[in-house]
Amino acid sequence: MKRSFVFLTGLLIFSSSLIYGRSSPVSDTLRIMSTPDLYPLASAWAENYGSVTTGVSVKVIMASDIKEAEDLISRGMIGFVSARNYPGFRNGSGWNTIIGRDIIVPVISNQNPALEKINQHGLSAVVLLQIMNNKNGEKWNSIITDSENAPVNYYWVKDESVIAGLAGFLGTDKINMAGREVTGSEALITAIRKDPYGIGFCRLTGVADLKNQTLAEGLSFLPIDNNNNGTLDYSEKIYGDFNQLSRGIWIGKYPKSLCSNIYAAGISQPEGEATVAFLRWVLTDGQKFLYDNGYNDLLITERQKSVDRLYETEVFTTAVSEARSPFVVLLFLFAAALVIVITVSQVVKYEGRSRSISTVLLPQSDRVFGESAVLIPQGLYFDKAHTWAFMEQDGMVKIGIDDFLQHITGTITRVKMKKDGSKVKKGEQILSLIQNGKHLDLYAPVSGTIREHNSVLETNSDLINSSPYNEGWVYKIEPLNWHREIQLLFYAEKYRQYLTQEFSRLKCFLTTVLNAGNEKYSHAVLQDGGEVSDGVLSQMGPEVWEDFQTNFVDMSK
């Protein structure tokens, strides 16, 4: 039977290869399409990737217009396109992933006498269009109640991308650019610094210090009243600083017409190691070239999601090519059916035998856990002190305890949590895990305000053990410096490497416990072969928990 199964499995693989063909060989020259607006950026990527990669060069083909871009993509080429200048590409059934952004922001002098009221009410698209189209000029007291009778001085940079973005935001292609034209972002910054009544629109990269994540000195972001109700609602309060705006853009609170995504797009998912490697580089090391070309890089969280899109399993929904032989298709279906029948029969026989074998569950102290037993989900960020963080679509960051730590503590009997509304800083004590009176203090992976605690843990604290990444989450936090602080956290892959060191540290700690005259714990510490007992701390006294706090958890901060 086993030989028959192997034979049929081989037949299945062979017939499937006949249907779908072989993957295309890797070429040492990649051809990438770019729309004209992104050509300088694409060329910079191609040049710099070639300088750091041996044996692979990238040739950028510039499409003359949208029609040619569509044609090149339809023929299988991967292209770099912007949603603003190529709005129709996402309506198709092809593949795409975000690789950067072109963000336009309104700025105002931070010396404006009406700044406090402006921050309370914001300016709507209707008011801004009124300012731009009034040839006689608007007064501040006509748009902000009880403000000064001073002119609203509008400054602008002649940038086609900015003008196109403004037209979309204001809902018109008839914008009177009769304001004061300046040559470049530096000139705009200087003009508004000198003019407390000045405002302007420009690219975010032109007025921000992305390295320090701050806005140019003397400027503030001009809040936008999205729903035109005359007040800045809670959901619209994203203009306080650079970090707050970046978070607001990512979760979709910023006007979409002022934030154009840049995509890598294709008729289907990228194939070939060379193509995938180049796109992965664009989403990691290549992000630094966005700023030099006037664009914004992605948040760390977004980069990982876009990288994941490169490796998603492709679902084949189209019919088998007519060029394939009907005999080959029938052969494939016949082999697949036989494999299924044989597999089911083997499972039934196995389950019949299993019922006659008694199952013995080992007590926790007799079970062991190693690196392979620790769950490390993709998409989460991990802190050295064994907590995790994940930003949800609404901008809240969910945090909890990692699987490694719960394997050490054993079953948690109580969780001591902070109240909703509490402010926390990264590295500060944020909760306590309690097991029959013994406890460990754990630390915040990110800074922010606690908006919700997991009340279910008050009665079912062992969810931290059974479901540390789902039902066992601890807090939802409104983050303060999310995209800065996650640079100090680990991706899943890096965290698994870090845990190799942590297992070594754990074994050293446990050896120290035994060498300190605690032979009574020897049965609960290390099993044969040096494996660590699952729930190793559960059978130890409070003095060992205190040592573990000081010499293991606190040392990870």
What dihedral angle (degrees, nearest 10) is formed by the CA atoms of 475, 477, 482, 488? -30
The mean pLDDT value of the chain amounts to 81
pLDDT for 161 equals 79
Confidence of residue 352 (pLDDT cuts 50, 70, 90): very low
Which pLDDT score is estimated for 332? 53
Phi-psi region of 139 (alpha: psi -120 to 50; beta: other; left: phi over 0): beta
Cβ atoms 236, 224 nearer than 8 A: yes
Per cent of the chain over pLDDT 90 is 38
pLDDT of amino acid 319: 33
pLDDT top residue among 248 and 197: 197
pLDDT of the residue at 322: 38
User: What domains are there in the chain, each with its CATH number?
Assistant: 102-255 (3.40.190.10), 369-557 (2.40.50.100)
What is the share, in percent, of the chain residues with pLDDT greater than 70? Answer: 79
**Widest pairwise Cα distance in the chain:** 93
Strands (E) in 325-408, as ranges, are: 368-369, 381-382, 387-391, 397-401
Residue 314 is predicted with a pLDDT of 41
pLDDT at 225 over 50: yes
Chain segment 82-102, per-residue pLDDT in tens: 887 666 655 556 888 999 998
Q: In this predicted model, what pLDDT tens digit does every residue of 311-321 receive, in sequence order? A: 764 433 333 33
With cut-offs at 50, 70 and 90, classify the pLDDT of residue 301.
low
Model confidence at 12: pLDDT above 70? no
Round to whole Å and give the CA distance between 413 and 308.
Answer: 37
Q: Which pLDDT does position 338 carry in this prediction?
A: 59
User: In the structure, what pLDDT confidence band is assigned to residue 174 with cuts at 50, 70 and 90?
Assistant: low
